[in-house]
Structure 1
Amino acid sequence: MNKNAIIIGSGIAGLAAAIRLKVKGYEVDVFEANASPGGKLSQFTIKEYRFDFGPSLFTLPEEVEDLFILAGKDPQTYFSYIKLPIACHYFWEDGKQVKAYADIDKFAKEVESQLGEPAEHVRQNLKKSAFIYNSLSPLFMHRSMHRWSTWLNAQALKFTFQMGKLGIFSTMNAANARQFKQPKMVQLFNRYATYNGSNPYQTPATLNIIPHLEFNIGAFFPTKGMYDITQSLYNLALDLGIKFYFDSKVDKVLVADNHAIGIRSGGKDYLSDIVVNNMDMVNAYKTILKDEKQPKFLLNQPKSSSALIFYWGIKKVYKELNLHNILFSEDYQTEFDHIFNRHSIYKDPTVYINITSIYKPDDAPEGCMNWFTMINVPNNQGQNWDELIAEARKNIILKINRTLGTDIAPLIEAEEILDPRTIESKTSSANGALYGNSSNNRYAAFLRHANYSSDIKNLYFCGGSVHPGGGIPLCLLSAKITTEMIG
């Protein structure tokens, strides 16, 4: 008789865990509080505009493809994507622009011609990023950090002797300031701290691992939009016979004799051999695990930043914009001081604009664009968000107008807003933090919840709030690490 597994949440990690357990021979039931799968990786429409709800950057596509291969399916029958020729287009208010070409030599020459930064500095930086990745990914991204077997091997010993070279004792900003002579280049590479909700002036330089993914490996775009990652994995799960319960909020994890034995949802108990929680770890302990022993030290850790997103339908095509665009603040350090120390929003924020209609024209009416317009903001600590949002909207529009030489306000014909409060309510992310606990200190990698419970047997965890962290690739790897622990 097959064993049964229950997955709480159908975010990208929950879907991946469900598929992996099904391949292992488990009967899998997935309980999702929302009406559809995906969590942050979902979609919606306003009028004739389609938007991806959350993550907009796609790297390490092989982590998605591996799930189809594992299930004995051809990935191309479910999912397709392209490699981007330009990873991002950067803008400053003084008129300077940089296109981050996928071709590293071309990108290096672009930086030299536009900013006066020697091309060799870019090549050296990306070689260093590759070194960090190749040194750390086998240890931190592909294995549990909470098991002795991870540390009792040659890779761990090598890591111990290389800690200084890997940037653990320096900040990202300090490392980048040593590498580059032009402040704009330091700012460009400091930006990668935001990929896991961190502050480049505090987070360790080990996070300079991130540019390797975008440049040395590449940035990609699913041909049907980011939501197709969710949809394709959901289709695979259905084909494998995985059962989904939507609009089914889990009220409690059932525990007997320190063993997870199932869940309670809608007043009914569902028993299982194992339970995998894909819900935000903090909110899980506050709700469905509130009667169990609490990991107070982890729960009380500072949280990552959040986001304020304006989904805009724009009645114009801006040919100077790409899929990913950044309009930089004139004072990056002050911007991060507002986010992490003042818990507010700086008057001159860095604006990220994602426009999927460039590669998927049916995401917007002809002659129009769908703008996913985002700034980094603090997580929710009871601020007056209505006031902050109104002020930020005004400042974002002014920033866009100054940088692009336009008047964007009359062109906005559709709008939806996502702020830390709605991120928390829609995705159960504690305080609306996008990446769980903060990574703003050198020990952050060790301050994430393990992929299993040390107090409750047969209870496991996956997703962005636990090891190895947030973002699509790490969420998929968390599902892999988790399910490899399960017999």
Structure 2
Amino acid sequence: MHSLTLGTHTFDFDRTLLQCPGYSTKCFELAGLTPSDYFQFQRLSKHTRHHFSNGSMLDSEDSLDSAADAISRFAGKKDAKQFKKYMKRTSRLFHTASASFFPRTFRSPLDYLSPELFSALLKVKPLQTMHRFHASTFDDQRLQQMFDRYATYIGSSPYSTPATFSLISYLEWADGVYYTKGGNAAIADGLEKAALDLGVRFYKNTEVTEILVEQRRAVGIRTDKDTETADHIVLNGDLLTQFPSLVEESLRPRFTNRRAESTEASISAFVIMAALDTRLPQLKHHQVFFSSDYKKEFQELFAHNQYAAEPTIYISNSSYTDSSISPDGDNLFILINAPSLPGGVLTASEQAAYRDTIYDLLEEKGIFIRPHLVHEKIITPTNLAQDYYAFRGSIYGAASNRRRDAFLRPYNESADISRLSFTGGSTIREAAHLWSCSAAAKQPELF
């Protein structure tokens, strides 16, 4: 949640795509604050344009009825009816998970030993892959590909990850997509302002070098400047890199270095931030240009740990909605799924070559960037590993391709050290996120 400026163009360091604004506002309400005093959200109309390899195109719609009508024109009446059934199924997935999983904080294996929980688990399709679920739902392969893409929201492959995570599509199609005015960084700025209003102290430009442990209790931290005592510590860095880095292995026997290193990493990203001297009329706020062979793309990323020869290309153009953050032309955040390290390592010449491949593919689709390019910055998996200590340069820490990693992620409380809690991408973090969503969002009418 930070921004980067190239000339007069401001970029978010991520997609400006927000689901469930209730997640961001809930903590303000719990603290007795008014969220709108700190940031504002805007629901986007027809937020995403989906481009397919045969030249066809489908826009997201503002309501489920409008979406069904658009799908009927795009793929036929049968798949439009299937879309309605699909939304009801994913709605049940979401609400079952909301009632049974999301409010829980998992601290030990005993938290899974509940007949009610086991029954609920069987209802959220843990044994079927996302792709198989979509292939059995839609005849049109383009729709299968479009809904399979939600596996990438958790850094995984639709051909491996459980169908449970199809509930993400329900959130996007039923509740919508939002933009934070000023960009995602406005959320971080709002959180900081609220924290300061509540008396929180920040130590900026200060690196934690060790979590201090005495008698199996976290008692403080050591930084590159000083030592601080604490009653409780929340570690929100990448668990797979930071727990091993900050706590001696002998103090965490149930989270060994070997366990961390054996985890399958999620996908990473190859990002081009392209500042243009014009606005391209073909572009919406969000767009996806799908590859012609989705299965091959994910095999290259996960099975072969290499860049896809013909990748799916995502472009966020937040200046479409908010021209003030990039007044002189589009601010294109171009994101391509990339392999984690070591496959994600690229030399300078290889970066340039892959960037040119992306620009070439976009020109085939009528999107000409090079003639209008005034500034450019490339981010690779190596940058994510070095600058953010991301596990093998991945975006989401552990992938969810294996059921163990999907459902048995590290707990939110340390099993070895009391007064130490974890949050972030490699933990069971969906609980707090989606529970806040379900508590704050009003259930839409499902046809």
Contact 2:338 2:344 in 1 (8 A): no
TM-score under structure 2 length normalisation: 0.91
Structure 2 residue 62 is matched with structure 1 residue 115:
no
Query: Structure 1 138/148 Cα, relative in aligned 2: closer, same or farther at 3 Å?
Result: farther
Give how far 1:65 is off: 1.2
Give how far 1:468 is off: 2.4
Structure 2 residue 247 is matched with structure 1 residue 289:
yes
What residue is the counterpart of 1:167 in the other structure? 125
What residue is the counterpart of 2:391 in the other structure? 430
Contact 1:276 1:461 in 2 (8 A): yes
Structure 2 residue 223 is matched with structure 1 residue 238:
no
What residue is the counterpart of 1:330 in the other structure? 292
Amino acid at match of 2:351: I
Contact 1:283 1:429 in 2 (8 A): yes
**Is the deviation greater in 443-452 or in 427-436?**
443-452
Amino acid at match of 1:142: P
Looking at structure 2, the residues matched to 77 and 392 of structure 1 have their Cα atoms a distance apart, in angstroms, of 43
Structure 1 residues without counterparts, runs of 5 or longer:
1-40, 478-487
**Is the deviation greater in 188-197 or in 105-114?**
105-114
Give how far 1:94 is off: 2.4
Give how far 1:459 is off: 1.1
Aligned partner of 2:164 among 206, 223, 233: 206
Amino acid at match of 1:377: A
Aligned partner of 1:177 among 119, 135, 142: 135
Amino acid at match of 1:44: L
Query: Structure 1 398/476 Cα, relative in aligned 2: closer, same or farther at 3 Å?
Result: farther
What residue is the counterpart of 2:234 in the other structure? 276
SS of 1:374's equivalent? strand
Query: Structure 1 468/384 Cα, relative in aligned 2: closer, same or farther at 3 Å?
Result: closer
Cα deviations across residues 80-114 of structure 1 (Å, max 9, x unaligned)? 11111123110123220000113111111112212
Aligned partner of 1:416 among 339, 364, 377: 377
Query: Structure 1 202/152 Cα, relative in aligned 2: closer, same or farther at 3 Å?
Result: closer
Stretches of 4+ aligned residues off by more than 4 angstroms: 147-155, 474-477
Q: Identity of paired residues, percent? A: 28
SS of 1:450's equivalent? coil
Structure 2 residue 45 is matched with structure 1 residue 85:
yes
Give how far 1:436 is off: 1.1
What residue is the counterpart of 1:124 in the other structure? 85
Give how far 1:226 is off: 1.3
TM-score under structure 1 length normalisation: 0.84
Contact 1:262 1:275 in 2 (8 A): yes
Contact 1:88 1:99 in 2 (8 A): yes
Give how far 1:153 is off: 5.9
Looking at structure 1, the residues matched to 126 and 236 of structure 2 have their Cα atoms a distance apart, in angstroms, of 29
SS of 1:121's equivalent? helix
Query: Structure 1 362/248 Cα, relative in aligned 2: closer, same or farther at 3 Å?
Result: same
SS of 1:156's equivalent? helix
Contact 2:90 2:170 in 1 (8 A): yes
SS of 1:453's equivalent? coil
Query: Structure 1 435/383 Cα, relative in aligned 2: closer, same or farther at 3 Å?
Result: closer
Aligned partner of 1:266 among 224, 233, 247: 224
Structure 2 residue 42 is matched with structure 1 residue 46:
no
1:85-104 aligned within 5 A: 85-104=45-64
Contact 1:125 1:179 in 2 (8 A): yes
Contact 1:85 1:103 in 2 (8 A): no
Give how far 1:293 is off: 2.3
What residue is the counterpart of 1:6 in the other structure? none
Structure 2 residues without counterparts, runs of 5 or longer:
438-447
**Is the deviation greater in 112-121 or in 312-321?**
112-121
Structure 2 residue 106 is matched with structure 1 residue 145:
yes
